Structure 1
Amino acid sequence: MFLKNYRTVILAGAIIAAALILLSYNLRYDTGAGVLKNMILEAATPFQKVFNASVAGVENAWKRYIHLVGLEEDNRKLKSKITALQEELILYKEGNLEAQRLKKLLSLQDAYGHRFIAARVIGKELSVVSKTLWIDKGKTHGLKPGMPVLVSPGLIGRLTDVSWHSSKVLLLIDENSNVDVLIQRTRVQGIARGAGTLGCVLRYVSKIQDVKEGDVVVTAGFSNIFPKGLLVGKVSYVNRMGTGLFLKIHVAPFADLSSVEEVMVLAAEQQESDQRKMKEE
C-alpha cells in the first residue's frame, strides 16, 4: 500500500539521484560537461517538478493531519465543557424546584399560625395493603406519634411509629386512617376514611345534608390528633341514589401523595396549646 501510494515520488527521487551522480562524475572529469549537463538537467526537470509537487503534497497532508488532530482535541474539550454545564444546569433546576417546594411548605406556618418541623421523605410504601411514608426526623427532633403531617396546601396523614432519627407517616388514603372532618361550606360533619386509589370516602353523612362536588373538606378538630381547620381535600363524587341512609361521597386529597418529597410536621407543643384553648372555650 505504501509503495503504491508513493511510487511516483520514489521513482522521481531515484532518477534525480542518478542524474546528480552522473552530473558529479561529468563535472569531475570535465568531459563534455556542457552538453552532458544540459541533457541530464533537461531530462531531470519534469521528474524534479513531480518530486517537488509530491513532497509539497505530503507536507500539506501532514499539516492538515496535525490541524485535524488539534481540532479533535478542541472538540473533545468543548464536549467536556458542555457536559459539565449541562450537569450544572440540571443541579440548578433541581435546587430551584426544591427551593420552591420548601417555600410552599414554609407558607403553611403563615397559613395556619402553627409551628412546624420540616422533614424529607426517605421511603414510601404505596402498595395495596399499606399507604405510608418514612421521613428523616424522629424523637431527637421532637417528633411524637400522632402528630399531623402536611404539605402545601394541607394534611396528608399522621405519625404512627417514631424512632430516634426517623418516623412513619400513615397517609390519609390508607384504609386504617380515619379523620373527623367538616364540609367547609355547610359545616356538615363526617369521617374521612382512607380508600386507596379513590382517595378517601366520607362516611356517616345523611342524604338530607347539603354536599356537592367541589366542596372543600377540613379537619373538625374533635380528636386529640388534628387541630381544627386543616385542609384535607375536595369532594370529588356524590351519590344520593343508594339504598342506605348515608350519602356515598369520595374526597380527593389536595396533595399528590405519590410525589411528596418534603413534609412539615405540626409540633406537639402547638397541638397541646390548641387543645387547651378548645377546652377553655
Structure 2
Amino acid sequence: MRQQSTRKRSSRFRIFRLLFFAGLLMTLACIFLVSTLGSQKFGGLHKLILEAAGPVQKVVASGVNYLGSFKQEYLDVLAVGEENKRLWQELQESRALVHKSREAMATNARLRKLLAFKDSSDLPMVAATVIGKDPSMWFRSLIIDRGTSDGVFKGSPVTNSEGIVGQVLTASPHYSKVLLAIAPSSAIDVLLQKSRVRGILKGTGSQTYRLEYVLKTVEVEEGDVVVTAGYGGMFPTGLPVGVVSKVIRKRRGMFHEIEVRPSVDYKTLEYLFVLQRKEPVPQ
C-alpha cells in the first residue's frame, strides 16, 4: 500500500512539473510575440501578462546568475588547487637543493680538514673511503676501498685528522678490513702526554677506551691527553688517541682504573688515511 501511494505521489509530482514548465514556456512565448508583433502601446492584456511573467523571469535570471557565479568559483578553486600543487613541488625541489648544498659543504669541510692533516704530516699515507661496517661487538670493523695494491697491509695504522682510528686487520688487492681501536680485541701502546707514562689502551666495544697498567703512583687527571707510544713499530709516536675522561682511584690493586674518551668520532667516519708500508708488519 505504501509503495502504491508513493508511486501515485511521484506521478502527480511529475505531471505538476510538466504543467509548470509548459506554462512557463507558453508565458515566455506570449511575452516574446506580444513584444515583437504587438503595437508599441501596452494594452491591459499585455500589462497583465508582463505582471505575471515578471516574477518568473526574475527567478530564472537569479538562478542563471547563481549558476554562473558557482561555476566561476568552482573554476577558481580548481585553479588554486593546481597552483598549490605547483608551489608544493617547487618547495620540495628547493628543499632537496638545500639539502644537497649542505651535504656538499659538509663534505668539503671534512675533505679540507683531511687535506690539511695530510699536508702537515711527513708520513706517507693513502686516502680511503669507508664502504661498509661490521656491527659485531668483538670485532668492530670497517671495510675500506684500499688494499695491497695501494700499499695497505695487515697491521697498517688507520687514522684521520682527529687521531687514531684503528689498524688493518686483513687486506685483499683492492679492499681492506679495519679493526677499530674501540673494539674489545684491540690493544695499543700509548703514553700519557704530560707524564710520558706508558700504558695499554684497550677498546670497550662502546665509544670509550680503557687505559690499563698505569701505576697508582702516577698522577693522572681528567683532561690528560693520550698519544701513541710508537713501540713495536706498529704506530708512529705522538698520534692523538684520546683524552682522559675519568679516573677511579681504589684502595686495592696497583693500577689506576682510567677511562679515555676517543679523539675520533666513530659515528661519523667516512674518509680515512692509511699509513703506507712497503711490506706487512711482522706479526
- Aligned 8 A contact 1:149 1:156 in 2: yes
Structure 2 residue runs of 5 or longer lacking an equivalent are 1-17
Structure 2 partner of 1:132 = 141
Distance in 2 separating the partners of 1:264 and 1:133: 13
What is the match of residue 113 of structure 2? Answer: 104
Answer yes or no: is the 8 Å Cα contact 1:156–1:253 preserved in 2.
Answer: no
Which residue in 2 is equivalent to 1:17?
25
Separation in structure 2 between the aligned mates of residue 213 and residue 253 of structure 1, nearest angstrom: 13
- The one-letter code sitting in structure 2 at the alignment partner of 1:196 is G
Aligned CA distance change for structure 1 residues 24 and 166 (closer, same or farther; 3 Å) = same
1:118 equivalent in alignment to 2:127: yes
Does structure 2 retain, via aligned residues, the 8 Å contact 1:198–1:250? no
Could you tell me which residue of structure 1 aligns to residue 193 of structure 2? 184
The Cα of 1:26 is off from its aligned counterpart by: 6.5
* Correspondence for 1:197: 206
Among 252, 262, 273, the alignment partner of 1:253 is 262
CA displacement 1:181-201 (0-9 Å, x = unmatched)? 111111111221223237322
Question: Matched residue of 1:58: which SS?
Answer: helix
Letter paired with 2:219: D
Tell me the alpha carbon deviations over residues 157-214 of structure 1, each in whole angstroms, 9 at most, x when there is no partner. Answer: 0111112332111111222222121111111112212232373222332222232221
Give every structure 1 segment of 4 or more consecutive aligned residues whose post-TM-superposition deviation is greater than 4 Å: 10-16, 23-33
Task: Give the percent of matched residue pairs that are identical in Structure 1 and Structure 2.
Answer: 37
Query: Do the aligned partners of 2:137 and 2:183 also contact (CA within 8 Å) in 1?
Result: no
* Deviation, structure 1 residue 23: 4.6
* Structure 1 residues without counterparts, runs of 5 or longer: 1-9, 273-281
Letter paired with 1:188: V
| Alpha-carbon distance change, 156 to 93 in structure 1, aligned in 2, over 3 angstroms | same
Please tell me the root mean square deviation across aligned C-alpha atoms, in Å.
3.1
In structure 1, the residue matched to 2:161 is 152
- CA deviation after TM superposition for structure 1 residue 49, in Å: 1.7
TM-score, structure 2 length as denominator? 0.81
Q: 1:225 to 1:44 in 2, by over 3 A?
A: same
Give the equivalent residue in structure 2 for 1:52: 61
Q: Tell me the CA shift for residue 27 of structure 1.
A: 8.5
Q: Contact 1:12 / 1:48 at 8 angstroms: preserved in 2?
A: no
Q: Distance in 2 between matches of 1:28 and 1:215?
A: 110
Match of 2:179 among 163, 170, 186: 170
Q: Distance in 2 between matches of 1:37 and 1:71?
A: 49
TM-score, normalising length from structure 1?
0.81
Shift of 1:24: 6.2
